[in-house]
Chains A and B, each alone.
Chain A
Amino acid sequence: MIDDHPMIIEGYKNTLLGENQKEYQIKIDIASNCDDAYDNIVKSSESTPYDMLFVDIKLPPSSDGKITSGEDLAKHAKEMLPKAKVIILTMHREDHRIHNILKNINPAGFLIKSDLTSSELLLAFNNIVKGKAYYSATVNDHFRKMMTNKFSLDEKNLKILYHLSRGVKTKNLPNYVSLSLSAIEKRKNQIKEMFSIAKADDQKLLEEARKRGFI
């Protein structure tokens, strides 16, 4: 279990080690930062590999700066422990992040902390142990939204919309998205065309994006 809040790990433990969970023998290692987590993963890959990993997204980065988040950590874990089931637990519920995580890690479980109750955690745990993937309602919502749209927006477009919705001016977007201003303008126009609201202003664009669930 990787989380920088001991309180949360305790919450997981309290849920999983409850009396109605006698059928499994659960041995838990904990890590509160990327370095510890990586060390543990490496160690286990050499001896007894972990069956399951609980990964928080926001973590203190590794000391060499190579691993900056749970996302990176999960990628490494999938390589070193191919049989391990990765469960992502995060506070973030923004669409573009969900989208990214799904795309990059394809975790066995994806739980949004704010939705989570202990019964849901147990349900997810049991499903995953049985080899079924489990996603929070919010994540499923995201899937549904994606499906209903005839098209999908790539990560960069989503980022643009996300930052715009935060009130960032277009001219400042290059600071947030690694694209030039002209490229950003181009993408914005493409998005507008896709939404068939060409020549509308940013206000309209954001409204439409919200309606279609991209924000």
Chain B
Amino acid sequence: MKLLFKKTLILFFLILFIGCSDKSKDKIHEEDQLKLNLIESHVEKSKDRSRSKKERKGELIKAYGIVSTLPNSKNKIEGLHAISIVYYSLKDYGKFKYLNLKALDLSKQISDSIKIAKSNGFLGIYYRNKELDSAYKSFKEADKIYLSLDNNLGVDKTEYAYDHGKILLDLAKLSRKVKNYTESEELTVRAIKKFEIAQDETESFLPLSYSNLGTVAKYLGRYDDAVNYHKKSIEYAKNTNKEVRYAIIGNNNIGTVYKSQNRYEDAKKYYNKGLSYKEFLKKRPKRYTLLLDNLAYAKFLSGDNSEKVLDLFYEALRKRDSVNDLVGIATNTLHLAEYYKSVNNDSLAKFFANRAKNTALEVNNNEELLRSYQLLSEISESKVGLDYAKNYIKLNDSLVKEERLFRDKFARIEFETDEMKAENLQISKENQILIIAILGLTALFLLGYIIFRQQQSNKELLFAQTQQEANQEIYRLLLNQQIKLEEGRQLEQHRMSEELHDGVLGRLFGVRLSLDGINQRANDGFTEARNKYIDELKSIEKEIRLISHDLGTEAIPSDVAYIDAVESLISDLCEVNNLHFEFSNDEDIDWEHIDDQKKVNLFRILQESLQNIFKHANAESIKINFDYIEDKINLTILDDGIGFKSNKVKKGIGLKNITSRVSQMSGVVQFLSNNNAGTVVSVSVPV
């Protein structure tokens, strides 16, 4: 009843405890959820373009403050990413980089591959307009992670396909920038594949991808493909919010492709197509002027030198000037310079070429700069023209060099990441080998140790065995000696017996018979007296015969040998030590049938005890008994010495030996002693 009550109580507490812990867990969860909601609302507010930049940044700082209090988790990293994106849109790239570096660090800490890749991707975005090689490196790392995830069967590939596609597209753009068009094309194709399987795309990158493919194809001289790709780009953008944008871009690009093929009519047609989206273009002067400029240039190239064309150029330039579109201005002025050169107006041509050169320098547009140098060298006087030509060559060389440099760098980065992977593999392989080696060595050592121990114990066993054998051998020798002694005596007795019987007795008989014979014939009155002596002789004969018989019949009682050995041991030792002794052996003990080991042990125990008595007991007499009681041999050794306090004396080697010998025979030993009352050692051993 009581037990039952106890059990219920324990159960109750257990439930209570579990309940509590569940609650506390929920609490944490709730708290985190609350924080996440707060972060989300702050981020949302920061995205609100109606607010001032300062306000929006304030929201982001608040959001970041909350994110910092979160424990390191997926949620925290996601928060960091969200905040960083808003910073990017606010053009605060420093914060963008800082947050993503932090996100990368944290995701490495929790080894979340997808988040590592994503952070790398963001860092690549940060670098892509500044340091091409760093950007390439970050993107490449992200790509590597995604690729390794592709090989992992347990991961849902659609989850990151979109992000991976973006990374690949960025890489493609980078490759295109360094004029590695084949690689760029390859990367774009991979990106398209990713975008095709991506599920939750917030914004389709397929039009952009195809647009890139088209551009690359144009550079590779595959113009038909280029046109097709651009058309596809327009197709994919249909029914999206960027439909118009891609239509304009696509048409512009197609126009440019045709322009490159010198198919100016087709080019003009597509530029005009682009220009047909007037509503859209009104708000985007850059795009508009680009189309306008391109259209004018196409017309100019097709041989149209009319004022109309010039007007178009100037309209575009004016608009560009008004929005300060420097890139556009550089191209535009270059086109104008070309135009004036064709109508032999060198001074205006020189003016626009110079402006193009300066603007290109300002915006770092090397392509336009190159063209401006080329143009200037053609229209300037020979000396200045030579300088421009030199500049052109120099720039061209440096550009080629730079491109090559970047390509090399990219190649190196790729190689290094590959190498790192190989190295990691190598290291893990080496580690594996090391671990195997250590395990092997440990196993070997253990084995060695075990074998060593085994051998040791074997040796010990062998030693014990040889010792036992030696003991038995000693006993046998002892016994043999005794038996030999006995035999010798026996032999001697026999000899004496025979000698007496055959020799002495025979001669005595002969003498008696002769005497008797002579006596029968003698008549001197002494016959009776002599008869008396002759009878006496006869009785002597009888006596001798009896003695001879006794001597001859004594057989060898072999069991006497052991007791004889024991007795001679006792008497020898006692004689040396001047002690009186009594020894008795129970006749019932069949020594002959007791195994040698026991006999040796008893013999040694006796020897040991006697030594103890001689050394320590100071005794005058000892008494030793072998008794046979209920199938047990009892050996009692009693002395009248000073004794010892049995519980106080530490066991010496002697006593230990005795105890171990007795336990070997599965017997019992007892040491009884009192001060000045002698000592009794009693050993009881089963037969």
Which A residues are within 8 Å of any B CB, using their own CB?
3-16, 18-20, 58, 91, 113-114, 116-119, 121-122, 165-169, 172
Contact = CB atoms under 8 A, between A and B. Distances in A.
Interface string B512-538: 111011111100000000000010001
Contacts of A10: 510, 514
10 contacts: A7-B506, A10-B514, A12-B513, A14-B517, A15-B513, A15-B517, A91-B505, A166-B552, A167-B557, A168-B555
Contacts of B542: 114
B360 to A, nearest CB: 133
Given A7-B506, A13-B517, 19 more contacts: A7-B507, A7-B514, A8-B509, A11-B512, A11-B516, A11-B517, A14-B514, A19-B521, A91-B502, A91-B505, A114-B542, A117-B516, A117-B538, A118-B519, A119-B516, A119-B520, A121-B513, A167-B553, A168-B555
B506 A91 contact: yes
A119 B521 CA distance: 11
Nearest to B516: A118
Most interface-central of B511, B518, B521 (chain A CB within 10 A) = B521
A7 B517 contact: no
Contacts of B514: 7, 10-11, 14-15
List of 6 A-B pairs having minimum Cβ-Cβ separation, nearest first: A11-B513, A7-B510, A15-B517, A118-B516, A14-B517, A167-B555
A20 B520 contact: yes
B521 A18 contact: yes
A187 B63 CA distance: 122
Given A8-B507, A167-B554, A167-B555, A114 B513 contact: no
Contact of B541 (A12, A13, A114, A167): A114
Contacts of A5: 503, 506-507, 510
Contacts of B538: 114, 117
Given A58-B502, A118-B516, A9 B555 contact: no
B545 interface: yes
A18 B502 contact: no
Nearest to B509: A113
A8 B513 contact: yes
A122 B521 CA distance: 12
Nearest to B523: A19
Contacts of A113: 506, 509
B230 interface: no
A169 B538 CA distance: 34
B501 interface: yes
B555 A169 contact: yes
Nearest to A5: B506
Nearest to A18: B521
Nearest to A169: B555
Contacts of B545: 91, 114
A118 B521 CA distance: 11
A116 B555 contact: no
Nearest to B519: A118
Contacts of B519: 118
Contacts of B553: 165-167
B509 to A, nearest CB: 5
B517 A166 contact: no
Most interface-central of B511, B517, B554 (chain A CB within 10 A) = B517
B518 A14 contact: yes
Most interface-central of A12, A13, A114, A169 (chain B CB within 10 A) = A114
Most interface-central of B506, B513, B520, B521 (chain A CB within 10 A) = B513
A9 B534 CA distance: 18
A14 B510 CA distance: 10
